[in-house]
Chains A and B, each alone.
Chain A
Amino acid sequence: MSPIFKLLAQRIALSLLLLLLISVVIFAGTMVLPGDVAQSILGQSATPEALANLRAELGVNDPPVQRYFAWLFGAIQGDLGTALTSGQDISEALASRFWNTLFLAFWAAVVAVPLAIFLGLLAVRFKDRWPDKLISGVTLASISIPEFLIGYVLMYLIAVQLRWFPSVAMINDNMSLFEKLNAIALPIAVLTLVVLAHMMRMTRAAILNVMQSAYIETAELKGLNAFQVIYRHAFPNAIAPIVNVVMLNLAYLVVGVVVIEVVFVYPGMGQYLVDHVSKRDVPVVQACGLIFAAVYIGLNMIADIVAILSNPRLRHPK
């Protein structure tokens, strides 16, 4: 079993290294951003002395390398600094919003992933016939339309006309799970439509690729029906590419929901980030960037680990 542990250890070490590099890029990137936070806090009428005092207080004048390491060690210990504009502790402010973002992404994934894989299997089963074409057509159309437009259209049809679900996805800790789910039903629907096509088409392509193999012919010659052949013999060999695209889309659900959160006024990280970018609150932007990067790298790492574990040659060496 040692080669597989070595591979996994390598993959995890690589992820950590990558995250470290990204932290450098995020820090350097926010350094060179134009604008002056002191100016934006104090306003146009501030005196030069007041600006200089505030800059010293905020630590903006320290050498960048020193500030980077101070920031990095803080971040490793869970201290992401304080927001320049409000003086709030960023970790605290982000925690509840991060969980909200994860909550939305999780339930969107719960709907989208099984649906995408099921539709992918269905498309393979009826390859080049009308169900396949219908599934491909509808899912393609849904990713081609901008997500905010889908959001507003659904909002108009379902929330305003049919009054099934609320149009604003406000949630708070006092709500029950059912109330929360009811509130976020529309954003879940929009996110599902956005990520469905990609996952479904990859599932279809990965399984069709496996369907060319000789062992699929063996399975057909055992008298199995088409679904048994696909589910038992093709799917286990198509897991790695499918998990890969699923993880990419999960990452998108966490990282890319900014627009949807704004459309539905959802109290997640995306909205928090957008607010603070406009205020030039660099520590908040850095913290959000770092968290998004960690989520992205983490999910991709999981995809690679699943790919390694799903390979019988690595799991069961000779």
Chain B
Amino acid sequence: MSDTLLKVRDLKIGATIYPPGERPRDIEIVHGVSFDLAPGKVLGLIGESGAGKSTIGLASMAYGRGGVQITGGEVWVNGRDILKTGQRDVRSLRGGEVTYVSQSAAASFNPAKKIMDQVVEAAVEQKKFSRKDAEARARVLFAKLGLPDPDNIGERYPHQVSGGQLQRCMTALALCPEPDLVVFDEPTTALDVTTQIDVLMAIKEAIRDTGVAALYITHDLAVVAQVSDDIMVLKMGNTVEYGSVDQIINNPQEEYTQALVSVRSIEHEEKAPTPDPVLSVRNITARYKGTQFDVLHNVNVDLYPGQTLAVVGESGSGKSTLARVITGLLPPREGEIEFAGRTLSGDLKGRSREDLRELQMIYQMADVAMNPRQTVGTIIGRPLEFYFGMRGAEKKKRIIELLDEIELGEKFMDRYPAELSGGQKQRVCIARSLAAKPKMIICDEVTSALDPLVADGILKLLLDLQKIEDVAYLFITHDLATVRAISDNIAVMYQGKVQRYGGKSKVLSPPFDDYTDLLLSSVPEMKLGWLEEVIANRKMESAGN
């Protein structure tokens, strides 16, 4: 065997796109990428969405997703060019020599089959192991990856285990046939931070113990720094920088890499509380209809005019439910919402148009929050008509003002949402909520779907707008870096309760309670050896979801 396991030379990948109202045309999405991977080594592929990193990962299995096609170059695995061998040879490569771990294990497991059947399938099919030996190996891997009840978990169906556990099962699936190379495609992105760290550690140990090589694809540089030997930074299908982890993290040469390393550079001075909060959540307890359990227990928080309250927690902590209660979508069982000096009706139907205007919302998915058949001008103009009765030139003038405030400008007025990038769409949503001249905006995970640099831009914009419009934000997020960047006050939520609450400096300074400590320590930091350090110093186990 040669000393390079995977050798990629001048890889070019194309796709056919179907723009609405135009002829389909071929475009190139990866423009000649080259790299080497030695046995047992880990190469991190990093970049924003559209950088082509997943496409390159799948190309190492001679696979093109959807209409994607490999148009040029060479991919050598174990000394043969897999782009030139036949279908049969490619099939023995997939699932045998090279295996794949996808971002969403929940979608990548067949819901109709037991986990064990799926984990051993490739190993048995590729004649690497007998069914019995493959199952024994799977159970060893389940144990190694820290899954509960490793002897029996394979008998369950995918929906019977949690997301974090399923992601580990997917890793077991990839490692079961004793491959030479595993492609990890954002394996921890869909997980909570405290779960991510466990899965990350499990993956790292599994790589070390089995001596397998890996391509580790992610958009999170801090994550990839923990597991890789080398890193390749990609942008728009081109290699920006390629070097050792140490060099990329500590001494990045290219401007783009430097921006990625230093992302979240926002500095925001904490403001002191004022006497009159714009929003007071008083003793709120709530549960969903038809269930027996309270999802919020006696929640008390205040939001002051022109300030930001960050509500932070993992999935299932009740933070989005709190937003539903404040907006009136879920009437609380107990407690009151005081807003701008008056008590709001618990039910949306009991609220006046003025109540609705002063309390706006921005959502995580800007895509689905806009009517795809309306232009940007119509979308932003609607609240102007609805709340202020604006028409004609007056309305147009205000729309242009708002477009200028979100740094897009007048030329965007006649565009449709489909013609905008993710960041631009979120900006339009911000303008639409500002058009109502609200006292307060609920921002529900508004940057989670965006690439880090774009998210950074959105956060800066929100802070600037806060100064101009004097609007308060209730900022719901699971991302502590975002919280650090923009908040004045912080409420840490855990299992429906407010675990810790107060000014930013107070909440983020020791002494911590165990949960806040776990949450804060789980946020990946951009330094080598961070992962081992954190695992060694842990006081509390994560919930494991």
Contact = CB atoms under 8 A, between A and B. Distances in A.
A22 B254 CA distance: 76
A214 interface: yes
Interface in A177-194: none
B112 A220 contact: no
Interface in A297-318: 310, 312-313, 316, 318
Interface stretch (B86-94, B347-355, B444-452): B86-94
B108 A214 contact: yes
Interface string B92-103: 111110011010
A218 interface: yes
B122 A217 contact: no
A224 B91 CA distance: 7
Contacts of A318: 159-160
Interface in B66-108: 90-96, 99-100, 102, 104, 107-108
A222 interface: yes
A316 B94 contact: no
Contacts of B90: 223
Interface string A208-244: 0000011101111111110010001100110000000
A215 B95 contact: no
Contacts of A312: 111-112, 157, 159
B109 interface: yes
A218 B109 contact: yes
B110 interface: yes
B102 A218 contact: yes
A16 B362 CA distance: 49
B248 interface: no
B159 A220 contact: no
A236 to B, nearest CB: 4
Contact of B110 (A223, A225, A236, A313): A236
A223 B92 contact: yes
B231 interface: no
A5 to B, nearest CB: 19
B95 A233 contact: no
Contact of A221 (B95, B110, B112): B95
Contact of B109 (A215, A225, A228, A310): A215
A225 B102 CA distance: 20
B25 interface: no
B121 A222 contact: yes
B93 A223 contact: yes
B102 A214 contact: yes
A237 B118 CA distance: 14
A215 B108 contact: yes
A222 B113 CA distance: 15
A221 B157 contact: no
B63 interface: yes
Nearest to B97: A223
A214 B94 CA distance: 16
Interface residues of B, number: 32
Contacts of B63: 220-221
B110 A219 contact: yes
Contact of A222 (B58, B125, B157, B160): B125
B65 interface: yes
Nearest to A225: B91
Contacts of A217: 65, 102, 108
Nearest to B112: A236
B134 to A, nearest CB: 12
Interface string A282-310: 00000000000000000000000000001
Given A222-B121, A312-B159, A215 B107 contact: yes
A221 B111 contact: no
A237 B113 CA distance: 9
A236 B157 CA distance: 14
A184 to B, nearest CB: 37
Given A220-B63, A222-B122, A313-B159, A237 B93 contact: no
A215 B93 CA distance: 19
Nearest to A237: B112
B340 to A, nearest CB: 43
Nearest to A224: B125
With a 10 A CB-CB cut-off, give which of B109, B112, B121, B156 has the most chain A CB atoms. Answer: B112
Contacts of B109: 215, 218
Nearest to A238: B112
A306 B113 CA distance: 17
Given A221-B61, A222-B121, A236-B113, A213 B107 contact: yes
A237 B110 contact: yes
Contacts of A310: 112
Contacts of A228: 125
B410 to A, nearest CB: 40
Contacts of A236: 110, 112-113
Contacts of B156: 316
Contact of B126 (A223, A313, A316): A223
Nearest to A219: B110
Nearest to B109: A215
Contacts of B113: 232-233, 236
A222 B112 CA distance: 17
Nearest to A212: B66
Nearest to B113: A236
A221 B100 contact: yes
A225 to B, nearest CB: 6
Nearest to A221: B100
Nearest to A233: B110
A313 B109 CA distance: 14
B170 to A, nearest CB: 8
B292 to A, nearest CB: 15
Contacts of B58: 221
Given A213-B107, A215-B109, A237-B110, A223 B122 contact: yes
Nearest to B91: A223
A236 B158 CA distance: 15
A214 B107 contact: yes
B108 A220 contact: no
B110 A215 contact: yes
Contacts of A221: 58, 61, 63, 94-95, 99-100
Interface string A74-114: 00000000000000000000000000000000000000000
Contacts of A219: 110, 121
B360 to A, nearest CB: 35
B64 to A, nearest CB: 11
A218 B61 CA distance: 12
B247 to A, nearest CB: 32
Contacts of A237: 110-112
A237 B109 CA distance: 12
Contacts of B157: 312-313, 316
Interface of A: 213-215, 217-225, 228, 232-233, 236-237, 310, 312-313, 316, 318
* Nearest 7 pairs of A and B residues by beta carbon: A222-B95, A223-B95, A222-B122, A214-B107, A223-B94, A236-B112, A223-B91
20 contacts: A213-B107, A214-B104, A214-B107, A214-B108, A217-B108, A218-B110, A220-B63, A221-B61, A221-B95, A221-B99, A222-B94, A222-B95, A222-B125, A223-B91, A223-B96, A233-B113, A313-B157, A313-B159, A316-B156, A316-B160
Given A217-B65, A313-B159, 7 more contacts: A217-B108, A218-B118, A220-B63, A222-B99, A236-B112, A316-B156, A316-B159
